[in-house]
Structure 1
Amino acid sequence: MPKQKIYTYLLLFTAINFVAINSFAQQESYIQSLDKQNHWVDSVYHKLSRKHRVAQLLFVRAHTNKGQAYEDSVGMVIKDQQIGGLVFFQGGPGRQLNLSNKYQKLAKVPLLIAMDGEWGLGMRLDSTISYPYQMALGAIQDNTLIYKMGQQIAYDFKRIGLQMNLGPDMDINNNPNNPVINYRSFGDNMYNVAKKGIAYFKGMQDAGLLVTAKHFPGHGDTNVDSHFDLPLLPYTRKRLDSLEEYPFREAINAGISGVMIAHMSIPALDSTTHLPSTLSRPIITGILKDSLKFKGLVVSDAMEMKGVVKYFPDGEADVRAFIAGNDIIELSENSDRAIKLIRKAVRQGKVSKEEFEARVKKVLAAKYWAGLNQYRPALPGNLAADLNRPEAKDLVQQLSDASVTLIKGNPTALKLNPFLKTAILSIGVSSPTVFQQETAKSFPNCKIFMVDKNTEAVELKNILGLLNKYEQVIVGIHDTRLRPASKLNYTSDVKLMIADLAGRANTIMSIFANAYAIAGLPGIEKSTALMVCYQNSPEMQKAVAKILSGNLKPTGKLPVSVNVFFPTGTGL
């Protein structure tokens, strides 16, 4: 069969698959479904033993990159404990699909399977698509693009047998030094965070995927990573109500299906010493459920994190999380122990039987809404093509194009003469970049230069001397690390070179790194033109090349305040 015909068939199969999976898109939201009696939920609940009712609240960790013994151990937990669900981490999509199908066969009640996919499957799985980080999305002015991204991500999740995304992140990142949220946030403007988060989760929910806004009541203004210790949020109740909680309140009003609780000490909301918000009934039941009227799934952050178990070891964190009001207790250190302790708490009346029943049924109702009452295994055929379909890749490029932000200069400054002698320089790299290769197509009289992040001062001086011979210089500043941190790991000499270049006429700079990194590059504000591109992806680099060729206008607006020169909202 000719290659073109095979490709046409593949596209047709993908399109049919997309329609089939998304024809399941819900006519009513999960929240709306909770108002109706559900005979499947009632029937399953009454058939479960007390132990297995408790087990429905427990979700355990799963991987596909840790070998057969690990996979078998998770299977034994499912078979013996009949837990409610799984949270998958690193691995590959084909392996995960097959393992999910295998695990579902071991469960008497179908498992609700979740994964962190803030930027799509690529956050956890190899050979899948990664959408831009949320900080980049925060710059976009057309939120319908983010809604479309949500739909595409829902397709990918459902395609490999997932029913829940533990995202979006709806924290307001108002601390540039935040070590754990940062680029995962839509920015520091609460209105923008709320609008972007709602567009994203509505895209997913409308396509039949359960979602989880995180990390309530707000993890954006901390300088401690709760994976390693308990962060303190020392602000007043008034400030927390008006700022941190705002995106979550808006998400609840918009019908979000789930909210994840942060591990933070918040004395203004609960003064108990060293008590994480995850274990606080005043915060979870008092504020989230009673005051904010949230009726959906309350999900704990991972219960194995030091921020929660440091002060409450040996299963105490699990039982306290249950008493506080969490519906899903995620990643207990020991799920068997947690089930026993929670059963004991129910017997002792620490949570009423009515409340316990309602919470178990809420998890079962989520399974029903996700279609698990008529569970069908995910199909392995044509998986790679489905997960890397052209329309999804095109959307990544559209999102990247729409996020590039011109924070210094104007459209005239971007109109370089294609026939002048041009230097195209990438800093922070040791080989030619996509940015250089794509930009060079528009400048026939150009030469490519590279500067590594650790280049010696003598060599930097030589390169600066060579650049004096060029009439215009196009510079890309790259952070090649997987996660773009607030500060570039360049030597001081390389940073001085950037300042030198910025002070020259006809120099255009693009920073393919965290927007906050600009603050650590004094003098860069003197550039003839400066574009921030948020991350070092090929799509961002192609977007800048399109701008420099005159085929695209930069329309993004800065979603965070970098310094006095570049406050939130800066952009053409």
Structure 2
Amino acid sequence: MPKFNNGICCALIIALNFIAVNAFAQKESYIQSLNTKNRWVDSVYNKLSRRQRVAQLLFVRAHTNKGKAYEDSVARVIKEEQVGGLVFFQGGPGRQAILVNKYQKLAEVPLLISMDGEWGLGMRLDSTISYPYQMTLGAIQDNNLIYKMGQQVAYDFKRLGVQINFGPDMDINNNPNNPVINYRSFGDNMYNVAKKGIAYFKGMQDAGLLTTAKHFPGHGDTNVDSHFDLPLLPYSRARLDSLEEYPFREAINAGISGIMIAHMNIPALDSTKHLPSTLSRPIVTGVLKDSLKFKGLVVSDAMEMKGVTKYFPNGEADVKAFLAGIDVIELSENSDRAIKLIRRAIRKGLISPDEFQTKVKKVLAAKYWAGLNRRSNISPLNLNEDLNRQTAKDLVQQLSDAAVTLLKGNSATLKLNPFLKTAIVSIGVDAPTVFQQEVAKSFPNCRIFMVAKNAPAIEVRNIMNWIKQYNQVIVGIHDTRLRPQSKLDYSADVRQMIADLAVRKGTVMSVFANAYTIAGLPGIEKSNALLVCYQMSAELQKSAAKVIAGTLKPTGKLPVSVNTSFPTGTGLGLQ
């Protein structure tokens, strides 16, 4: 027998998978598939008892980082309740592959496996690739890059036996202080949000992954996190129709397979006191299904969130969501209780037999579309290599290069002398950064300085005195927090240091943080050149270094309005 090199085999497997992915694009979409009679769907439906049919509508939580007892408890739920699907959260890809294989064997009807992966598997799993946040993607001018990202994300999900991504986020983030959406949104311009969201989900769907636009009818202009309380959206029906709902309307017209409903109280659409939109029939069925003619999967946001359980505890929320028109009840506090309460509602005639049947068959049709009618195991062979392939890493760098945005400056102000004494300062960190290491390659006569976000005043003064000896200063402002918030948690002394550095002649600043943080750094706009890079990834730090070295032209446009100096769309191209 001929011998094959492992690397060649791995490349061949990836190539064959991509051929399969591209072939999938020739098949009809999930929405189109709902118009045709499906023998597999009908056959499975007819074999299920009413209890089993209800169970198909429930998706329960799964982790691979909580130990064997937790994993076994999920296995018991699958075996005893025969739920329709799982939502995987934190853990690792190897462990998840093993668990998915185990869990699928326990299911009489294959489980629909889902994840929240707005920026890919890396949003939840270690040892996997994180693509840029959606705010970062919002700056990119070439939407084809985002389509390609969707294809790569779909490959990752399918390789791990996941059939549905609860993304993209298609909220318009028109409130800079939004505590829950913010950098997860493509920005505050509804047209940009719609175009970016469509490019992303089309890439995923064309590669065979089910997707879910969220959070209908729009969670972008809230100041309450629905994980902890019920947000109020106090706007008129006209405003909601013309602004918040716009990206979702466009997504429906473009063939999105699923839409997730937000937990928000919206009096203009349903005046019932304290009623979350997830539980509102006028919103879920009246607006989304009837007015907007959405025929795909309607998914609840997590039913364990305080935004829905605060006023509707003890399983009442699950029944109300079911009766409102929700097809997939995600993360009920108690799935067994939910099944019993929903069965009782059906027996009382609170829902028509046709509507109930349509819900269940939509879930089964999603399983068929995703290929679950043919059982198969996830192969552990080369799993890590497949999920960390070079083509995907190269795309992350391309996306990062395309996102870097020049807010102030020009070719002259960016053209620093490589032979002058240069201070390369990273603020908000306590160790040398990728940015510093990359920039230093172009400035042999340099010194690196680190300034912690809470550096004491005496340390700040000492560093500023050292910097006086240097002819030019290159500054990186970093947010090391897991999630980049709208305001930096820097001390007053460190903020003042940024303002003092900005007024120095020949200072170039790069912000590796949420774009909104610029509004909280008065004086930064006085720097010779100012780049915003949106997040502290290694790829974006390399991109900024390339701009400073003169090997990359910044083409990004600001996707949100920071202040009057830097409104949405700001971005200075270099000639």
TM class by shorter-chain length? over 0.9
Distance in 2 of aligned mates of 1:501 and 1:541 = 20
Output the amino acid matched with 1:506. G
Corresponding residue of 1:119: 119
Question: Does 2:267 match 1:294?
Answer: no
Question: Does 2:241 match 1:241?
Answer: yes
Corresponding residue of 1:200: 200
Shift of 1:464: 1.1
Deviations 1:79-104 (A, max 9, x none): 11111100000000011111011111
> Would you say the 8 A contact 1:119–1:130 is kept in 2?
yes
SS of the aligned residue for 1:283 comes to helix
> Would you say the 8 A contact 1:14–1:385 is kept in 2?
no
Deviations 1:175-213 (A, max 9, x none): 111000000000000000000000000000000000000
Corresponding residue of 2:186: 186
CA 329–216 in structure 1, closer or farther in 2 if over 3 Å, else same = same
Q: Quick check: 9-18 or 42-51, which moved more?
A: 9-18
Shift of 1:550: 1.0
Deviations 1:510-538 (A, max 9, x none): 00000000011000010100000000000
- Pairing 1:340-351 to 2, within 5 Å after superposition: 340-351=340-351
How high is the TM-score relative to the length of structure 2?
A: 0.98
Shift of 1:461: 1.3
Question: Does 2:527 match 1:551?
Answer: no
Distance in 2 of aligned mates of 1:256 and 1:425 = 45
Question: Does 2:439 match 1:439?
Answer: yes
Shift of 1:18: 3.4
Distance in 2 of aligned mates of 1:533 and 1:277 = 35
> Would you say the 8 A contact 2:533–2:540 is kept in 1?
yes
Output the amino acid matched with 1:395. L
> Would you say the 8 A contact 1:146–1:200 is kept in 2?
yes
SS of the aligned residue for 2:117 comes to coil
- Pairing 1:310-459 to 2, within 5 Å after superposition: 310-459=310-459
> Would you say the 8 A contact 2:219–2:262 is kept in 1?
yes
Shift of 1:548: 1.1
Distance in 1 of aligned mates of 2:73 and 2:480 = 36
Question: Does 2:144 match 1:144?
Answer: yes
Corresponding residue of 1:36: 36
> Would you say the 8 A contact 2:24–2:206 is kept in 1?
no
Corresponding residue of 1:101: 101
Corresponding residue of 2:510: 510
Question: Does 2:160 match 1:160?
Answer: yes
CA 9–563 in structure 1, closer or farther in 2 if over 3 Å, else same = same
Shift of 1:5: 5.2
Pairwise CA RMSD: 1.1
- Pairing 1:7-22 to 2, within 5 Å after superposition: 7-20=7-20
Shift of 1:8: 4.0
Corresponding residue of 1:259: 259
Q: Which runs of 5+ in 1 are unaligned?
A: none
SS of the aligned residue for 1:197 comes to helix
Q: Which runs of 5+ in 2 are unaligned?
A: none
Shift of 1:504: 1.1
Distance in 1 of aligned mates of 2:498 and 2:364 = 57
SS of the aligned residue for 1:373 comes to coil
Corresponding residue of 2:307: 307
SS of the aligned residue for 1:363 comes to helix
Shift of 1:16: 2.8
Deviations 1:409-448 (A, max 9, x none): 1222111111111111100111110000001001111111
SS of the aligned residue for 1:372 comes to coil
> Would you say the 8 A contact 2:113–2:162 is kept in 1?
yes
Corresponding residue of 2:571: 571
SS of the aligned residue for 2:97 comes to helix
Q: Quick check: 74-83 or 194-203, which moved more?
A: 74-83
CA 6–501 in structure 1, closer or farther in 2 if over 3 Å, else same = same
Output the amino acid matched with 2:469. K
Shift of 1:119: 0.2
Distance in 2 of aligned mates of 1:82 and 1:26 = 33
Distance in 1 of aligned mates of 2:84 and 2:317 = 19
> Would you say the 8 A contact 2:118–2:168 is kept in 1?
yes
Corresponding residue of 1:133: 133
Distance in 1 of aligned mates of 2:439 and 2:158 = 38
**Identity percentage of aligned residues:** 78
Shift of 1:159: 0.2
Distance in 2 of aligned mates of 1:371 and 1:156 = 16
> Would you say the 8 A contact 2:141–2:555 is kept in 1?
yes
> Would you say the 8 A contact 1:406–1:532 is kept in 2?
yes
Shift of 1:22: 5.0
Output the amino acid matched with 1:519. A
Shift of 1:491: 0.2
SS of the aligned residue for 2:417 comes to coil
Distance in 2 of aligned mates of 1:13 and 1:288 = 41
Shift of 1:11: 2.7
SS of the aligned residue for 2:272 comes to coil
Shift of 1:173: 0.4
> Would you say the 8 A contact 1:26–1:207 is kept in 2?
no
Output the amino acid matched with 1:349. G
Deviations 1:231-262 (A, max 9, x none): 00000000000000000000000000000000
Corresponding residue of 1:61: 61
How many equivalent residue pairs? 569
Deviations 1:13-61 (A, max 9, x none): 3323433455444511100111111111111111100100111100000
Distance in 1 of aligned mates of 2:466 and 2:95 = 51
Distance in 1 of aligned mates of 2:142 and 2:348 = 53
> Would you say the 8 A contact 1:21–1:159 is kept in 2?
no
Question: Does 2:530 match 1:530?
Answer: yes
Distance in 2 of aligned mates of 1:359 and 1:458 = 65
After superposing on structure 2, the runs of 4+ consecutive aligned residues of structure 1 that deviate more than 6 Å are none
Distance in 2 of aligned mates of 1:151 and 1:140 = 17
Q: Quick check: 8-17 or 509-518, which moved more?
A: 8-17
> Would you say the 8 A contact 1:217–1:248 is kept in 2?
yes
Shift of 1:505: 0.9
Distance in 1 of aligned mates of 2:240 and 2:21 = 40
Corresponding residue of 2:214: 214
Distance in 1 of aligned mates of 2:9 and 2:336 = 48
> Would you say the 8 A contact 1:266–1:276 is kept in 2?
yes
Distance in 1 of aligned mates of 2:21 and 2:288 = 33
SS of the aligned residue for 1:76 comes to helix
> Would you say the 8 A contact 1:26–1:208 is kept in 2?
no
